[in-house]
Amino acid sequence: MLWKIIALAVAGLVSGAAFAQSNVTVYGVVDIGYQSQSSHTKAGTNSLRGLNDGLQSGSRIGFRGTEDLGGGLKASFVLEQEIINDVQNTAGMFGGTNRQSYLALSGNFGTAAFGHQYTPQFLMDAKLDPFGRGLSGSQARIKRDINNRVSNLAAYISPNFNGFNVIAGYTMNATADEKVVNGGNNKTWAINPNYSAGPLYVGLNIHQVKADTAGANNVADKAMDLGASYDLGMVKLAGEYSTRKQANVDNRRYYMLGATIRVSAVGNVLLSYNNGRDKLAANTKERQTAIGYTHAMSKRTNVYTSLAKRGQNYAGYKTEFDVGLRHSF
């Protein structure tokens, strides 16, 4: 009889643990492909070719879960680790660094999240750029980004009000643990009001970093992005205008025009043109033209290819080609 009681108790503990973990999801991306880069200048041509991971999307493994707290409240978390899959891993279980790691509380008030997270700038660019944040045609190849993900971020996402919502965030130090006052912190704040209804999306992002140096709170970086997209069905058009300022260092302007053409139920042609210029440096211009194609083999697996040509100040140009395979789970 005692053994039966013990067995029932153990079974209850196991089933309770399984039930508690039933809302935890393991997910990830494995992406690898062939990449070729050629730099053409008056001095000659330099080329680099080989296998690379994360050409379309960074390879990763992650865990996410939610718990219903009642009264409309939910707690959730994300723990995500980069995977390096084209070389032997020498750092950590999968190689690479952590991507996102945060804890959030959601309710009728919206969502408040705390930890290492994507910036609104990154999320907005990924939404507007036909190439997302990957492939050779991404605007990130020429546009200077301030932060893709930041540490110690307290972020807030408002409820959706007839298509309008706001994302905002603040951190005392975007790059490492917080230090003593005026001891090297990179204080960062961002706000991203946006509107999305039917085929139309419009977004504005403002992002500023203040670096504490030698007891002074100096403005290090300012960013502004304004963009929109409109989905016509067979074609989705997008455009974005951006500024990047750093005191006495650079004052850059960028714009991107792009299109996603649905040539079949599983195939998309990607097109974009990017232009950048630094107003503080005479004749500093950079242009990029790109074409790409993605083909869904299933809901979780696709093949891709892209070709981009970019040049600066007419002194030469670089071509970049990639073709690869991506699987999500």
Nearest partner of 129 among 39, 36, 227, judged by Cα: 227
Lowest mean pLDDT among 94-98, 152-156, 229-233: 94-98
Write out pLDDT tens, residues 34-61. 999 888 766 666 788 899 999 999 999 9
Write out pLDDT tens, residues 255-272. 999 999 999 999 999 999
Label residue 256 left, alpha or beta by phi (over 0 means left) and psi (-120 to 50 means alpha): beta
Domains, the chain, ordered by start: 45-328 (2.40.160.10)
How large is the average pLDDT for residues 161-171?
95
Bridge partners, residue 66, by sequence: 76
How large is the average pLDDT for residues 310-323?
82
Tokens, residue 176 = 């490492």
Full DSSP string of 35-84 = EEEEEEETTEEEEEEEEEE-SSS--EEEEEEEEEEETTEEEEEEEEEE--
Q: Which residue has the tokens 């997270």?
A: 117
Query: Is the per-residue pLDDT at 277 higher than 60?
Result: yes
Per-residue model confidence (pLDDT) at position 65: 96
**Residues 12, 18: Cα–Cα separation, whole Å:** 10
CB-based contacts of 147, cutoff 8 Å, min separation 6? 119, 121, 122, 174, 188, 207, 209
Query: Is the per-residue pLDDT at 221 higher than 50?
Result: yes
Query: Is the per-residue pLDDT at 22 higher than 60?
Result: no
CB-based contacts of 52, cutoff 8 Å, min separation 6? 32, 33, 34, 35, 86, 322
Higher-confidence residue of 167 and 144: namely: 167
With contact defined as beta carbons under 8 Å apart, do 158 and 164 qualify?
no
CA 215 vs. chain centroid, Å, equals: 33
**Residues 262, 260: Cα–Cα separation, whole Å:** 7
**Confidence class of residue 5 from pLDDT cuts 50, 70 and 90?**
very low
Per-residue model confidence (pLDDT) at position 73: 96
Lowest mean pLDDT among 9-13, 186-190, 255-259: 9-13
